[in-house]
Structure 1
Amino acid sequence: MSQHNEADDLVATMTDGYKPGEKKDLNELQQLDANDESLNKWKASLGLNQAEIMFPDDPRTVIVKSLVLDAGGHKIEMDVSSSEKIAELKDRVIVIKEGAEYFFKVAFYVQREVVSGLKFLQQVKRLGLPVDKTEGMCGSYGPKNELQEKVFPLATAPSGMMARGTYTVRSKFVDDDNNCHLEWNWTMKIKDDWK
């Protein structure tokens, strides 16, 4: 489902001096300080004691279900739960009213292992030229048998005659270990109304 481009210009920024810790599987994490009761409670709150896998036939660690653009009374949901649903988005144009305030909300599952530093990256281009790049931190998550959500800060769509038109958008979810969990392209159109 994810694509990798050698000259990828949509990469997460790295914090100077930050190095992700050594990757450990759930069994190793459960065994660390196994006699520490408070640490065991903390591990349980992260879902580190859950052996059950939500989607056993799905090998993915992060399963992104949807990305919702919420502009008050206008909610536009992009179902990105499968390759087929993502393919449908390529033919769909998302219309956004110029100057509208909106936020994105993502819904996802994490299974099998801890995901450190999950980020949402997005690049917007017009006529092939980059006009905007967004990087939103989701956080670190342990496996959990429930849908998790992250709401990103409020943004404002561009406005004015020059801003109206069609934009191509590339969105992706990556983590601190440079794993790309999902990547897709979609089209948005800025118009003077929602239609």
Structure 2
Amino acid sequence: MSQQENDDLIATQTEGYKVGQKKNIQELQQLDSNDESLNKWKASLGLDVAKVRFPENPQTVIVQALVLKADGHEIRMDVSTDEAVKRLQENPVVIKEGVDYTFKIEFVVQREMVTGLKFLQQIKRMGISVEKMEEMCGSYGPKYENQERTFPSSKAPSGMMARGTYSIKSKFVDDDNNIYLEWTWSMDIKKEWE
């Protein structure tokens, strides 16, 4: 069985696309270093210095939170630590049936530039996939501040048969298939907000 068959959340690959050779901050700074406008542009991307917000964490991308927005409600799901992810797994997120909702992911990029960040998510009900999304987030330079990406909205299912618990698997990866965070959680769709 191939890895594709074992893992429902594999980023799609564009035929013919080849990921470029990874360059560190110093190499990027030296490229066309005599071009003043290019140097200003690189500095605006955060390529003037390898910023590190969490020195104890060796990862380049650190996911802070997944935020669900729906019907005037905002549910912030902390995923910044293993303990926070465990709490999220134990406490389903409740949303009202039929509402339009969207996700926003908040993350920190440190040390190096990261290319082709993607957010993958699969929603299942009773083991059957009901929705799968793959959203390109883009490429980011290191910053001390949180960076974020909001995704297009979806509509929660409605009706008596749609109410219940949905299991969700989320993953944040880059072009080099580095997995920065992969976690599972659940969402309860109910008749009303609780």
TM-score greater than 0.5 by the shorter chain: yes
Aligned to 1:100: 99
SS at match of 1:117: strand
Aligned to 1:139: 138
Q: Is the 8 A contact 2:51 2:142 kept in 1?
A: no
Please give the alpha-carbon distance, in whole angstroms, between the structure 2 residues aligned to 1:96 and 1:17: 41
Alignment of 1:142-181 (within 5 A): 142-181=141-180
Letter in 1 for 2:34: N
Shift of 1:52: 3.3
Shift of 1:102: 1.0
Please give the alpha-carbon distance, in whole angstroms, between the structure 1 residues aligned to 2:8 and 2:43: 38
Letter in 2 for 1:73: G
Aligned to 2:118: 119
Deviations 1:128-179 (A, max 9, x none): 1211101111110011121111111121111112211111100010011100
Letter in 1 for 2:55: P
Q: Is the 8 A contact 2:4 2:10 kept in 1?
A: no
Letter in 1 for 2:53: M
Q: Is the 8 A contact 2:94 2:188 kept in 1?
A: yes
4+ residue runs over 2 A deviation? none
Aligned to 1:73: 72
Q: Is the 8 A contact 1:114 1:143 kept in 2?
A: yes
2:93 equivalent to 1:59: no
Q: Is the 8 A contact 1:50 1:144 kept in 2?
A: no
Please give the alpha-carbon distance, in whole angstroms, between the structure 1 residues aligned to 2:164 and 2:74: 20
Aligned to 1:128: 127
Please give the alpha-carbon distance, in whole angstroms, between the structure 2 residues aligned to 1:55 and 1:6: 35
Shift of 1:194: 1.1
SS at match of 2:20: coil
Aligned length: 192
Shift of 1:5: 9.3
Alignment of 1:82-93 (within 5 A): 82-93=81-92
Q: Identity across aligned pairs (percent)? A: 64
Please give the alpha-carbon distance, in whole angstroms, between the structure 2 residues aligned to 1:74 and 1:144: 29
SS at match of 2:33: coil
Q: Is the 8 A contact 2:109 2:140 kept in 1?
A: yes
Q: Is the 8 A contact 2:50 2:112 kept in 1?
A: no
Q: Is the 8 A contact 1:121 1:173 kept in 2?
A: yes
SS at match of 1:146: coil
Distance 1:115 1:51, change over 3 A: closer
Shift of 1:38: 1.2
Letter in 1 for 2:179: C
SS at match of 1:131: strand
Alignment of 1:28-43 (within 5 A): 28-43=27-42
Q: Is the 8 A contact 1:63 1:109 kept in 2?
A: yes
SS at match of 2:146: strand
Q: TM-score w.r.t. structure 1 length?
A: 0.94
CA RMSD, 1 decimal: 1.5
Q: TM-score w.r.t. structure 2 length?
A: 0.94
Please give the alpha-carbon distance, in whole angstroms, between the structure 1 residues aligned to 2:126 and 2:11: 23
